[in-house]
Amino acid sequence: MNDFDWAAMADMLELEGETHSPYVRQAFEEFGQLNPRRVLDIGSGPGVAACRLAALFPQAEVTAVDGSPELLARAEERADRLAVRLRTRVAEFPEGLADLGPADLVWSGQVVHHVGDQQGALNRLAGLLEPGGVLAIVEGGLPPRWLPRDLGFGRPGLHARLDVAMSERFDRMRTELPGSVAVVEDWPAMLRAAGLTDARSRTFLVDHPAPLADGPRRFARQSLERQRTVLADLLDAEDLATLDRLLDPADPAGVDRRPDLFLLTAKTVHYGSRPERDGD
């Protein structure tokens, strides 16, 4: 898919999945009376959502699909720990999808934007569906907020500047992807272009109020550490110094110790269905 070292990010990816689990629960409620026989989680990572799908549909064959064997090993360990039935399959996205076979439900969380041709990737995902099957992809939403506008040090409005820098970095990443194709990111329209019907979007809130519990607090640290690393060339010296202070474990105003740390974000899920066959 690209040259990200996903296996090296396993701890952060699993913690992210656990921290964001409120939106996943809400998103799965949209499946209503769906009774799938086969479920695929494409780009499953360490299997947080896949294990939840396995718990939700215990009668189904649920398969976590990812290009990283290391992350799939984490998914298997998680499934064993939670006592759910989960299969795993190593496959690159989107090249390896053709060998997966059809499914009644396909879930893919924040994966499509890592492919140069996003419409082409959606076409392949839609092609996995049985008639009447449902595709749900997670793309977009609102960036996270962890901190008050005025931290008590540095320039107020750090989050807004991080958003601008992350957007610039994302645009650069998209441009540099092999076969990158510019497209209006109207996801329901893209799902319809992939041959799906009943295309719609729903946005779900993730709200962990202050004071943060240990898990979300560790995720806050890991997220800000990653931003400090990947945005170093896009932020000015004052904002980098602010991040350094936030990440200082000995500083009472740092993210490990400050009582006003929270998490507020939103994730958007786009749904589409493959039409039933004539006469069904």
What CATH number did the domain enclosing 63 receive?
3.40.50.150
- Calculate the alpha carbon distances from 170 to 15, 165, 166, 262 in Å: 22, 9, 6, 24
pLDDT at position 33 is 87
Q: pTM for this one?
A: 0.94
Which of 92-101, 126-135, 256-265 has the weakest average pLDDT?
Answer: 92-101
Q: Residue 59 belongs to what domain range?
A: 7-273
| H or E element at residue 207 | strand 197-208
| 139 within a domain of the structure (yes/no) | yes
| 1 within a domain of the structure (yes/no) | no
The average pLDDT across 99-116 equals 97
| 278 within a domain of the structure (yes/no) | no
The average pLDDT across 43-47 equals 96
- Residue 18 CA, distance from chain mean position: 11
Residue 55 burial (10 A CB sphere; 0-12, 13-18, 19+): middle
pLDDT at position 95 is 93
| 2 within a domain of the structure (yes/no) | no
SS3 238: helix
The average pLDDT across 133-153 equals 97
- Calculate the alpha carbon distances from 132 to 60, 62, 114, 156, 196 in Å: 16, 18, 27, 50, 10
Please tell me the distance from the alpha carbon of residue 271 to that of residue 77, in angstroms, as a whole number.
29
Q: How many domains is the chain partitioned into structurally?
A: 1
Residue 221, pLDDT above cutoff 90: yes
Residue 66, pLDDT above cutoff 90: yes
Q: Are 163 and 227 in contact (CB under 8 A)?
A: no
